[in-house]
Amino acid sequence: MSFDIIIRGGTVVTAADTCACDVGIRDGKIAALGHDLGDATAIIDATDRLVLPGGIDSHVHFAQPSGDGIVMADGFASGTRSAAFGGNTTVLPFCLQEKGQTLREALKHYHSLADGECHVDVAFHLIVTDPTEHVLGQELPALVEDGYTSLKVFMTYEGLALSDRELLETMAVARETGAMLMVHAENFDAIRFLTDRLERAGNTAPRFHATSRPIPVEREATHRAISLSELVDVPIMIVHVSNREAMDEIRRAQQRGLRVMGETCPQYLMLTEKDLDQLNMEGAKYVCSPPPRDIASQQACWEGLQQKVFSVFSSDHCPFRYDDPQGKLAPKGRTSFRWVPNGIPGVATRLPILFSEGVVKGRIDLNSFVAFSATNHAKIYGLYPRKGTIAVGSDADIALWDPKRKVTIRHELIHDGADYTPYEGLEVTGWPVLTMVRGKVVVEDGTLVGGKEHGTYLPRSKPPGAATIP
């Protein structure tokens, strides 16, 4: 039996097992696991390397409308390129329905931006901002059947926030159709109240972004989202959790048997609100929502991973250029933090940070790393077992890691469309040295070798994760 590729001599790690074996690949699929697999057209030497499932980042923003005069730094070509350099093989960006637009119209446009522009595979979440009777009664049920099996709703942001009634109506459709519902949980009215007060007092610098979104804003909205989901009996994912108080709301819900999941991100493990307090507009580089908190909140988020309160670790990659009037230095943003484009880049640094700070420092084990970085994403969002594991029949989406390589993160290693990384100068141990998507090498030894036409769109099944939380 011959193969297209054999990955030989490495340590294969899944969410459940770790073993020394070779991986035989044929026609873009994993065809065999074992020793002495025979001949192959190509042999990849994985001696002293970890052979991991390619990362799945289920929370990224590419080419998303971001307000008048603001342009997101990454489209699909640069965003998926950066993802591949970070050891990722699948990303799930968000298709934003703008007010007055049907979901079908939004999807048609989003697909046109992605087609032929992806270095890795992609699937789309649907952001529901205008839940009309037509959208809820006709479009959403049909789109879920077509493989768009996850929705996102916002409890904050002008033009995005849904009322409690609208949240309930959307949750009801998610329950009826079997879709997974993601929730951005912050209290919009509280943020507006605090922002108005801060501006009246002349407190407009980027650091006051964090002041305008304190922990109670996130905690209250998390509790309310969980309560509404309990009324409807629908599973939900609370995204980008930043602190203990919000995490404890999720934990309590889980202890009561509710199907509530949580996600956290690198910025809540590595940054604090002090990063926003810098000279001039430098703090704008770290403006994201929820904002980074403090050291105690970082420790809480690590506990959330260690104790499996959180199911997934995502980047919330939402990139804007810093030195750009269409980015962080937008003219209105200079007048108040209210107008600073909200989000930071991170799709390429998510996995090295979790590996170095988590695995190398003994906070989590390798199998948990795989679960948080790939397997649980695939299970929750309807991609498993095609994606997220190394098993016979699964796509040959693989990242080879050098677990001992020491790297100082610099923006030139990121290969995205932004002009900075919030983790500049951070030293990490462990780095992806090869990224393979469906049997084709995309990045090798820091060089892009795959074309942007290789990535494909992935229709998804209804997630079994809706019934069973990983």
Q: What is the DSSP letter of 386?
A: T
Q: Helix %, strand %, coil % for the chain, to 5?
A: 35, 25, 45
Residue with tokens 């679960």: 371
- Residue pLDDT, tens place only, 152-204: 999 999 999 999 999 999 999 999 999 999 999 999 999 999 999 999 999 99
For the cut 60, the answer to whether the pLDDT of residue 340 exceeds it is yes
Q: How many CB atoms lie within 10 A of CB 17?
A: 12
Q: How many CA atoms lie within 13 A of 148 on its CB side?
A: 22
For the cut 80, the answer to whether the pLDDT of residue 433 exceeds it is yes
pTM above 0.85, yes or no: yes
The predicted structure's pLDDT at residue 469 = 47
- Residue pLDDT, tens place only, 224-252: 999 999 999 999 999 999 999 999 999 99
444: tokens are: 């090798």
Q: Mean pLDDT over residues 26-35, rounded? A: 98
- Residue pLDDT, tens place only, 299-323: 999 999 999 999 999 999 999 999 9
The predicted structure's pLDDT at residue 470 = 52
CB 407 within 8 A of CB 426: no
Q: Where are the alpha helices (DSSP H) in 257-354?
A: 267-270, 295-306, 331-335, 350-354
The predicted structure's pLDDT at residue 468 = 46
